[in-house]
Amino acid sequence: MRRGKISLYSGLIALSIYYGREALSLGLWVGFGPGPGLMPLLLSIIMFILACFLLLSPDGLKNTETDSFILADGKRRLIMVVLFLIISTYLMDIIGFILSTMILTYTILQMVEKWGMKRSAIVAIILPVTFWFLFAVAFKMQLPEGIWF
Amino acid sequence: MDILLNLAMGFQQVLTPIYLLFVLLGVGFGLIVGALPGLGPTAAIAILLPLTYKSDPVLSMVMLTGIYYGAMFGGSYTSILLNIPGESSAVMTALEGYQLALQGQASKAIQMANMSSFLGGTISVFGLTVAAPLLSKAALAFGPPEYFILMMLGLSAIAFVGTGSPVKALIAGCFGLMLGTIGSEPITGAQRYTFGSYNLGDGIPFAAVAMGIFAIAEVLINIEKGLKPFSGKTEKKMRIQWPTKEELKISMSPAFQGTGIGFVLGALPGVGPTIASFLSYSLAKLQSKRPEKWGKGAIEGIAAVETANNAAVGGAMVPLLSLGIPGSSATAVLLGGLLMHGLRPGPLLFSEHPEIPWGVIASMYIGNIIAIIMGITLSVYFIRLLKLPPAVLNVIIFLVTIIGAYSINNNVFDIWVLLVFGVVGYFFKKVGIPEAPVVLGLVLGPLVETTFGQSLIMSHGSLSIFVQRPVSLVLLIILIIIYLWPLIRFSFNRLKYSNNQ
């Protein structure tokens, strides 16, 4: 957990430095009012101070819930779900909402939850189609379109 | 006397089967769209607007207004049950409501939300009835300096929405404000931190960030722990659970205060229910006798938020009906509805077509009663969501949030934003950084920057403008008191202690 926290706080420090550097190039004052860079600069200074405080203070690195940042037995499940989310989002514009969410639903149920293939397939068809009817047909909302719908 | 006569005329008109049917349709549709993320009241009113083109103007306005306040009622349901804020104004409801749902008190939280929505909604309609002309003039006295101090008051909520370390809450708030600076700069129009992407030109969509950081992050945490998406207790029997007398008693003060805040802020163009709910929540927490309970399922927090965001609807109707100024996107579409029927809202509408404003006002009284009855009845079915198999519930959350994010701009880019902030929210949760200040900063950041810039342009660069205007000065004093409140309370307690000694 400690290593994870150090990485996150260091990331915030890096973000504040980048933000501040960009802010300076945007201009701090224009005419009678603040320029586009003033607020980002102030925020980057505040973020830098706060993130440094957390990184250096013992309270900031104190354990919260668990000793490990990502639970060892949950790591695989977590990575798989994030991966499937990324893949289905990438496919959204190519194959459309229904097909991409069918893939997402099936893979989560079958590979992560370890449901049976038939049961996963039935739910993977019913859920996306129901949502498509509710939002795209009933509420006339636009959903990602691909080769289908 | 005139008010009573006009109101009686409005009731006479609305208490007919066809009007009641249209109120029912509007409120029912509003409740559903309010509960679904992405499809807010503005979009819902816009969808139904063309359908009302050929109908009677009062009838169509009654239905469209019903959608507006019905959506405020429904916005709390998915916040409480799934940690997905259906509306931006329901973000703070998720903070307390979801914790109560995890403790097996989802029904109680929803009933508190229903009752508070009804209270806030009804009192604000009463306010609209009696104080509309007065308040609409006062609202015009608000310029950029007053708005700036008001936004700073809203930002003070950052200190009160976190439950743990104040430094982490400030980091979250600062991160949200930084996100708010992405896109076009509000005064000069300069592009900031867009990396050349036109998708970022309008900034980061608030709804996608809120859904990612609250709902997706929560699901990721649960998946990591072993696929228990609703990791709390669920009621064995799906029955209506009411708040206890004690809970109602402690919720009274936040509820009435929230109603006042919501109504007044709702009447100010551009402020709306979101800021009203943030401010009401933080003030109620500040005054609470059990602040340690907040963020862990304080039922009075739901009362503070829900009264404020529903009262803001009545408040938002004040400038619309009495001046013809839409204070929010939803009231702008309602204005479009009136214009479509050849009517121009403003003082003349009350004298030339009194049946329209008074019909709408009377329908809002009746609509609030219909909304609470429907809300209580439907809540039993909404709570059944929690009985679904955990894996299915997870998938439903993914699908609802994906649709909600896509519907913002009909662009897959917003789904990517949802995912990125889901992961950011996951890491923030892991290290104990609260999520709500991120959302607060993102909402208020651009408004703070705009009003500050406009104020300085007005005063030719002088900060004295904030103390020269009476309304701004009063707000500034309130702001200083709020920031110094912990110190004042500490000194007061110390004095009391030394006197007792």
| B376 touching chain A per CB within 8 A | no
Q: Do B461 and A86 touch (CB under 8 A)?
A: no
Find, in chain A, the residue whose alpha carbon is nearest to that of B229.
A113
Are the C-beta atoms of residues B453 and B186 closer than 8 Å to each other? yes
Planar angle of CA B432, B438, B439, nearest 5 degrees: 130
Are the C-beta atoms of residues B281 and B440 closer than 8 Å to each other? no
Q: Do B223 and A74 touch (CB under 8 A)?
A: yes
Q: Do A78 and B423 touch (CB under 8 A)?
A: no
Residue pLDDT, tens place only, B458-470 = 888 888 999 999 8
| B492 touching chain A per CB within 8 A | no
Q: Do A144 and B185 touch (CB under 8 A)?
A: no
Residue A49 Cα, gap to closest chain B Cα (Å): 10
Q: Do B224 and A128 touch (CB under 8 A)?
A: no
Q: Choose among B392, B419, B454: nearest Cβ to A85.
A: B419
A137 interaction partners in chain B (CB closer than 8 Å): none
What are residue B381's phi and psi, to 5 degrees?
A: -75, -35
CA atoms of B208 and B195, how far apart (whole Å): 19
Q: What is the CA radius of gyration of chain B?
A: 22
Residue A147 Cα, gap to closest chain B Cα (Å): 16
Q: Do B399 and A47 touch (CB under 8 A)?
A: no
B412 interaction partners in chain A (CB closer than 8 Å): 89, 92-93, 144
| B416 touching chain A per CB within 8 A | yes
Q: Do A39 and B449 touch (CB under 8 A)?
A: yes
One digit per residue, pLDDT tens: chain B, 501 residues? 678 888 898 898 889 998 999 899 899 888 887 877 666 777 778 777 777 777 788 888 888 899 888 888 888 888 888 887 766 778 888 888 988 988 888 889 999 999 999 999 999 999 888 877 666 667 677 888 988 888 887 777 666 665 567 888 889 989 999 999 999 888 888 899 999 888 998 889 888 898 898 889 988 988 887 755 444 555 555 678 888 999 899 999 999 999 999 998 888 776 778 888 888 988 888 888 888 888 888 899 999 999 998 999 888 888 888 777 776 778 878 888 887 888 877 767 777 888 888 888 999 999 999 999 998 888 888 877 777 787 888 888 899 889 888 988 889 999 999 999 999 999 998 888 888 888 888 888 888 888 898 898 888 888 899 999 988 999 899 888 877 877 777 777 778 777 777
Long-range contacts of A11-16 (CB under 8 A, 24+ apart): A12/A47, A12/A51, A12/B171, A12/B175, A13/A48, A13/A51, A13/A52, A13/A55, A15/A47, A15/B178, A16/A44, A16/A45, A16/A47, A16/A48, A16/A51
Q: Do B456 and A8 touch (CB under 8 A)?
A: no
Q: Classify residue B53 by burial, with Cβ atoms within 10 Å: 0-12, 13-18, 19+.
A: exposed
Q: Choose among B188, B412, B430: nearest Cβ to A92.
A: B412
Q: Choose among A32, A36, A77: nearest Cβ to B190.
A: A36
- Which of A48, A91, A66 lies closest to A2, judged by CA? A66
One digit per residue, pLDDT tens: chain A, 149 residues? 677 888 889 999 999 999 999 999 988 888 777 889 999 999 999 999 999 998 888 766 666 555 566 667 778 888 999 999 999 999 998 999 999 999 999 998 988 878 889 999 999 999 999 999 888 887 778 889 877 65
Domain residue spans of chain A: 2-56, 72-138
pLDDT at B229: 46
pLDDT at B182: 94
A69 interaction partners in chain B (CB closer than 8 Å): 430
Are the C-beta atoms of residues B188 and A67 closer than 8 Å to each other? no
- Which of B367, B333, B346 lies closest to B73, judged by CA? B367
Q: Choose among A86, A115, A143: nearest Cβ to B419.
A: A86
Residue B348 Cα, gap to closest chain A Cα (Å): 36
Q: Do B192 and A93 touch (CB under 8 A)?
A: no
Find, in chain B, the residue whose alpha carbon is nearest to that of A73.
B224
Beta pairing, strands A29-30 & A33-34: antiparallel
Q: What H or E segment, with its residue span, contains residue B183?
A: strand B183-184
Find, in chain A, the residue whose alpha carbon is nearest to that of B428.
A8
Q: Do B174 and A47 touch (CB under 8 A)?
A: yes
Q: Do A127 and B427 touch (CB under 8 A)?
A: no
Q: Do B391 and A108 touch (CB under 8 A)?
A: yes
Domain residue spans of chain B: 2-468
Residue pLDDT, tens place only, B438-494 = 888 888 888 888 889 889 888 888 889 999 998 899 989 988 887 787 777 777 777
Q: Do A92 and B415 touch (CB under 8 A)?
A: yes
Distances (CA, A) of B237 to B2, B104, B240, B241, B387: 51, 11, 9, 10, 10
B420 interaction partners in chain A (CB closer than 8 Å): none
